[in-house]
Each structure stands twice: as structure tokens, then as C-alpha cells.
């Protein structure tokens, strides 16, 4: 058997985005003195993950006509009444506490109004200007300050450690620990822990156009699936409407031109220079992301021009100097790719950006498996069928902190470390080693094939036959991947091996996305079926639940629980339900 290094800790955190770093800080505060806290990350702390890439900002109700209740109702309406309402409420309520913590304790500094108050800008789908930001580079500000705080504290750091398997106890009732590959050496390391928080992020990079970096490959959800945990809303892939389209030769293609452009008055134009979004929604360019993505995609299909794939965003009418001042980061990024954002037009395309689906958790981040907690994009429920721009980084930091607090409290009631199921541990090692015993092939070609299939068959607009076709292609790609090998003569920083492991995760989750899409025979939020275009009755809303047993994934449905507000109602700042005429 392959040698496995063994290591013990008390609290293990997977991922160093906003969720992981906040979990580490809060766990140190809430756990008993002497508790060992370990942070494991696929890359380098503060230098990888999706929080760092956040441009737009952080949604929080800070008064001035806004309220937690109003933020909550925007989140529920934006999610088309599919969110877990207890999670959505905690997100909106605790965001107020967390933004003060970010400024007063973590050291973040956000943009100000002339009177010194925090500036909040407009984002689509929201009834108040509530998005706090640092120019258009908000994520770098947040992650840099969090990184400084964590690096200054007694947290054990396992950098360049790739998590490849959640390992339960022999009876399967609890989590014993996590299996890693130390990417620097290629050796396996099993880490036991009393509590584990998974915050590995989503990363729908199985699509031709996508915003996350290529190493974000749904590893966390793939691991959860293999140990039998239920996943919800897996059909809900958010496409950001305005991904930069700069050609196949550059990785800049797919990167986001943030929501604040449209919030500030940016216009979307077709090939004839005409605005078109009011043909699709009364809010025009300020409609929610799902609506704008479908509008752009529909115009792309009308044009059917291989030389001019996308549509265009135009900002020049707002004044080029004004645009350069407000959106300096994006102006430079576009200039690097040959576009003049401030005074000209920039070609854009819907780009796979965020994953609303994830592991089923409660509002305290606990899962069905004792010892495992999930926060950030790995957790399903808070956003329902559509995430509002600005709710993502708020979700990660709020629930990362919650997870740290809850783990610190729970660990006080736990006894000794749990022993793993050695058969599961061996099976995960064998799974990872499979390509090392086969003839090397072209893993990247398979990834491109998967990306084309998911974009064409399980993308912005879907049909039953299309998704069935997609499932057939995914099965063919998986079969080819399992027979594709990599050179295993040197496993230290063997990036082709990790490309293979990335593809294994992507194919697993692509299958679940397609099957969940087939199971939802209506159109809600990010999931739009041309053969079932109606949303269905809000009062009988359901969410999909995917589970894997053996090698088979089955998808069922569960009713949404309207624990705070029902369709047709809203809540006022006093918290009392009131009928809202025309609520949608």
C-alpha cells in the first residue's frame, strides 16, 4: 500500500478564502485554550481562492432607508423563493456585524462618502444602494487584511495541500479526517480532526466561459458526494452576464466586468449599436444576473456570427474620466486586452461565475455528518436559485465566522479523535493513483471537450434533450479520462496529475448539474428550461436534492420551508408579516 503520513489536529479548515480565514480567526477565539487549529489550502494562503477575485463589493444594510428586512426580501425575491430562509436571514443580519468587524478588527478600509460614511453603490436586483466596496478591487482588500491577521496567529498552515477525500469513521456516522496530497512532494497525508470545516469554494470551470481560476474545480462538492452527503440546488449555476471576451488566446476571456458597471448606468448594445435589455425586462440592464445573462445569450443566438460572438457594454456616455476614476481596475484590465472601457465598447459574454448549489447545512453550518461543517460557496441554501451580486463575499465571511464559533463551542463536548475507516482511506488513495498506472494522454483536450459540452448542452438556456445529450457526452469523457494516464515518475508539483484530479471532480459534478437540471421541470432563477419556461407556483416551491450511492447519482425533491415569510408577504423592519400585492 502507498505510504500515508499521519497527522492530528483539533480543528481543520479546508480553504483560505473569506470563509476559511474567518473560520480560523473565530475558532481561535471560541475554542478552549490549547486547541490546535490547522488551515489547509490547495495553493498559498491569501493568494488563491475566489474571495481575492471579488471586484464589486459586499452587501450590507447600514441604514439610510435600507434595513436587514429589506435586504432579506431582496435575497428571497432574487432567489425566486427557493432560499433556505433561516440561512438568508442570518446572512443579512450578521453582515452588519461582520462589516464592522472587517473595518474595526481586521483592518479593512472601504470607500467613503465626503461626510466620512461608508459609500454603498447600486447593484442589480436590489431595492437599495447597499454594496460596500474598495474601488473595484474589494476582494483584494478583504483577503489581504484577513491573511495578515491569520499569519500573525498560532494557526498551523498546510499550504499546497490538496484535499482529495473526506474519510468517515468505520460506521459512517462521523467524519474522522481528510486525506491530502502534499503537492510539494506528491506524498499522501491523512489529517485527523475533531471538527472539519469545508470552505474550498465552488468554481464552475467546466464551462467554456468561466470566471474562477482553473484550479477551482468543485473538489469539495465531489468529496461530499462520494461520502453520501446530500447536495441541494445543483442545477443552479450562476452566469455573470458580462464576462470579458478577448479571444481563445488569453485567460482574460471569461473574467468578470463587475455589476457596478451596469449599476452605474452602463448600457448593453447589440451588433447594431442598439440597447436590447428592455426587450427582456422592465429593469433593463439592472435586472438580476440570470435575466441579463439570458438576454445577452438570446441576442447572441440571433446574431449567429462566429466572428462577433458576444454583445457589448458601453460606458462612454457616463464620461470617460468619470469611468476611469470609479472603475480603475477594470479600465486597466480591459486596456490590457485591447479594449477601451472608458470611452469605447467592450465585447462581453455570459460567464460561469458562481454556484448556488452545495452541501445541505443548517443555519449554523452543521451537516448531516458529525464533525463536518460547510461554509461559503460549498454550502447550498442561502441564495436559492440566484445569488444577488454582493451577497457572495458577505455569505463567505458571515458563515466562515459562524462555523468558527460553532466548531469552537462543539469541540468542548467532543472526546478523543475518531479512527478512520481504513478501507475508505485506501480507496481514496487508489482512486488518486489510478492515472499513474496508465499510458499518458491529453487531459487538457478532455477538459476542453467537457467545457464545450456543458456550454452547449447544460448552459445558460437548457432543454431536456440537450441535457440528456450532455449526460451522454459526460459519460464518454469520464470513460476516456479513466483510461488516460499521466507520467508518475516525479510526483512533486506534478501539475498534469492534478489536472487529472481536477477533471475527475469536474466530470462528477457536471453529471450532477445535468441530472438536477432534468429533475427541475420549470424555470427558476439561473435555471432556465426552454421546454418548461414557466416558474411554477411559488407556494409549492421545491429544491432538488442529489445523493450518490455507489456509482449512481439520484436526484429527488424537497419542499421549501417558508419559515419566515410566505409568497405574497413581505416583512417590515418591525418584523411583522404584511401582504405585499404583486410579490414575485
Q: What is the CATH number of the domain that holds 406?
A: 3.50.50.60
Specify whether the CB–CB gap between 394 and 58 falls below 8 A. yes
First-to-final CA distance of the chain: 58
Known active-site residue 162 = no
Point out the catalytic residue in the list 262, 294, 366, 520.
262
Q: Is the pLDDT of residue 578 over 60?
A: no
Residues 385 and 306 in one domain: no
Residues 110 and 120 in one domain: yes
Q: What is the pLDDT of residues 453-504, one digit of tens each?
A: 999 999 999 999 999 999 999 999 999 999 999 999 999 999 999 999 999 9
Does 570 reside within a domain?
Answer: no
257: domain CATH number? 3.90.700.10
Point out the catalytic residue in the list 52, 71, 130, 240.
240
Q: Is the pLDDT of residue 99 over 60?
A: yes
Does 579 reside within a domain?
Answer: no
Residues 287 and 221 in one domain: no
Helices (H), 119-267: 138-151, 219-226, 260-263
Q: How far out from the chain centre does Cα 335 lie?
A: 28
Residues 127 and 50 in one domain: yes
Average pLDDT estimate for 114-129: 90
> Considering 352, 368, 394, which residue would you say is the last residue of a domain?
352
Specify whether the CB–CB gap between 107 and 75 falls below 8 A. no
Average pLDDT estimate for 138-145: 92
What whole-number percentage of the chain has pLDDT above 70? 98
221, 227, 233, 235: CA torsion to nearest 10? 70
Residues 228 and 248 in one domain: no
Structural domain total, the chain: 3
Q: What is the pLDDT of residues 412-426, one digit of tens each?
A: 999 999 999 999 999
Lowest mean pLDDT, pick from 52-56, 101-105, 517-521? 52-56
Write the DSSP string, 401-427.
Answer: HHHHHHHHHHGGG--SPPPP-HHHHHH
Residues 338 and 274 in one domain: yes
pLDDT at 583: 37
Q: Is the pLDDT of residue 129 over 80?
A: yes
Does 567 reside within a domain?
Answer: no
| Cα 106 from Cα 134, distance rounded (Å) | 15
Q: Is the pLDDT of residue 104 over 50?
A: yes
Helices (H), 170-319: 219-226, 260-263, 289-303
> Considering 335, 352, 369, which residue would you say is the last residue of a domain?
352
Average pLDDT estimate for 103-131: 92
Nine cell digits for residue 516? 438536477
| Cα 450 from Cα 428, distance rounded (Å) | 24
Residues 15 and 149 in one domain: yes
Show the domain range for 269: 240-352
Nine cell digits for residue 482? 479513466
Known active-site residue 333 = no
**Nearest C-alpha neighbor of 195 from the set 413, 402, 372:** 372
pTM: predicted TM-score of the whole model, two decimal places: 0.95
Amino acid at each position: 500500500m502507498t505510504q500515508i503520513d499521519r497527522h492530528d489536529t483539533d480543528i481543520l479548515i479546508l480553504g483560505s478564502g473569506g470563509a476559511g480565514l474567518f473560520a480560523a480567526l473565530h475558532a481561535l477565539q471560541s475554542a478552549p485554550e490549547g486547541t490546535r487549529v490547522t488551515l489547509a489550502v490547495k495553493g498559498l494562503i491569501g493568494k488563491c481562492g475566489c474571495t481575492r477575485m471579488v471586484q464589486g463589493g459586499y452587501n450590507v444594510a447600514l441604514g439610510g432607508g435600507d434595513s436587514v428586512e429589506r435586504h432579506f426580501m431582496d435575497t428571497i425575491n432574487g432567489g425566486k423563493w427557493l432560499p433556505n430562509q433561516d440561512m438568508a436571514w442570518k446572512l443579512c443580519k450578521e453582515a452588519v456585524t461582520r462589516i464592522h468587524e472587517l473595518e474595526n478588527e481586521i483592518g479593512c478600509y472601504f470607500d467613503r462618502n465626503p461626510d466620512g460614511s461608508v459609500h454603498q453603490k447600486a447593484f442589480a436586483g436590489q431595492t437599495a444602494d447597499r454594496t460596500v466596496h474598495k474601488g473595484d478591487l474589494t476582494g483584494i482588500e478583504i483577503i489581504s487584511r484577513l491573511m495578515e491577521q491569520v499569519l500573525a496567529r498560532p494557526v498551523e498552515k498546510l499550504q499546497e495541500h490538496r484535499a482529495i477525500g473526506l474519510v468517515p469513521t468505520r460506521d459512517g456516522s462521523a467524519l474522522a479526517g481528510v486525506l491530502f496530497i502534499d503537492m510539494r512532494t506528491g506524498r499522501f497525508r491523512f489529517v485527523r480532526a475533531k471538527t472539519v470545516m469545508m470552505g474550498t469554494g465552488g468554481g464552475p470551470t467546466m464551462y467554456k466561459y468561466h470566471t474562477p481560476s482553473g484550479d477551482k474545480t468543485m473538489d469539495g462538492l465531489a468529496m461530499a458526494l462520494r461520502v453520501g452527503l446530500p447536495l441541494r440546488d445543483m442545477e443552479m449555476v450562476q452566469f455573470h452576464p458580462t464576462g470579458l471576451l478577448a479571444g481563445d488566446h488569453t485567460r482574460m476571456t471569461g473574467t468578470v466586468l463587475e455589476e457596478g458597471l451596469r449599476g452605474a448606468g452602463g448600457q448593453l448594445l447589440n451588433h447594431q449599436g442598439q440597447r436590447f435589455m428592455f426587450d427582456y425586462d422592465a429593469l433593463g440592464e439592472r435586472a438580476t444576473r440570470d435575466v441579463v445573462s439570458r438576454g445577452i445569450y438570446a441576442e447572441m443566438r440571433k446574431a449567429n456570427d462566429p466572428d462577433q460572438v458576444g454583445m457589448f457594454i458601453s460606458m462612454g456616455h457616463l464620461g470617460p474620466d468619470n469611468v476611469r476614476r470609479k472603475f480603475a481596475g477594470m479600465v486597466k484590465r480591459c486596456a490590457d486586452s485591447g479594449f477601451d472601457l472608458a470611452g469605447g465598447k467592450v465585447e462581453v459574454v455570459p460567464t460561469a461565475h458562481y454556484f448556488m448549489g452545495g452541501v445541505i447545512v443548517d443555519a449554523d453550518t452543521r451537516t448531516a455528518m458529525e464533525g463536518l461543517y460547510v461554509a461559503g460557496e460549498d454550502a447550498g441554501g442561502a441564495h436559492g436559485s440566484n445569488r444577488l451580486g454582493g451577497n457572495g463575499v458577505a455569505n463567505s465571511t458571515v458563515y466562515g465566522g459562524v462555523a468558527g464559533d460553532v466548531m469552537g463551542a462543539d469541540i468542548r463536548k467532543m472526546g478523543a479523535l475518531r479512527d478512520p475507516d481504513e478501507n475508505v482511506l485506501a480507496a481514496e488513495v487508489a482512486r488518486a493513483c489510478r492515472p499513474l498506472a496508465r499510458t499518458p494522454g491529453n487531459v487538457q483536450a478532455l477538459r476542453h471537450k467537457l467545457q464545450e459540452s456543458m456550454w452547449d448542452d447544460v448552459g445558460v438556456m437548457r432543454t431536456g434533450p440537450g441535457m440528456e445529450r450532455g449526460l451522454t457526452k459526460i459519460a464518454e469523457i469520464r470513460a476516456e479520462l479513466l483510461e488516460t494516464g499521466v507520467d508518475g515518475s516525479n510526483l512533486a508539483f506534478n501539475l498534469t496529475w492534478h489536472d487529472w484530479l481536477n477533471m475527475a471532480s469536474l466530470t462528477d459534478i457536471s453529471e450532477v448539474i445535468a441530472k438536477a437540471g432534468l429533475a427541475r421541470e420549470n424555470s427558476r432563477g439561473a435555471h432556465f428550461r426552454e421546454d418548461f419556461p414557466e416558474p411554477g407556483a411559488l407556494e409549492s416551491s421545491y429544491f432538488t436534492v442529489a445523493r450518490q450511492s455507489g456509482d449512481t447519482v439520484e436526484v429527488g425533491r424537497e419542499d421549501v420551508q417558508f419559515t419566515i415569510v410566505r409568497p405574497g408577504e413581505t416583512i417590515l423592519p418591525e418584523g411583522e408579516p404584511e401582504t405585499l400585492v404583486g410579490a414575485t
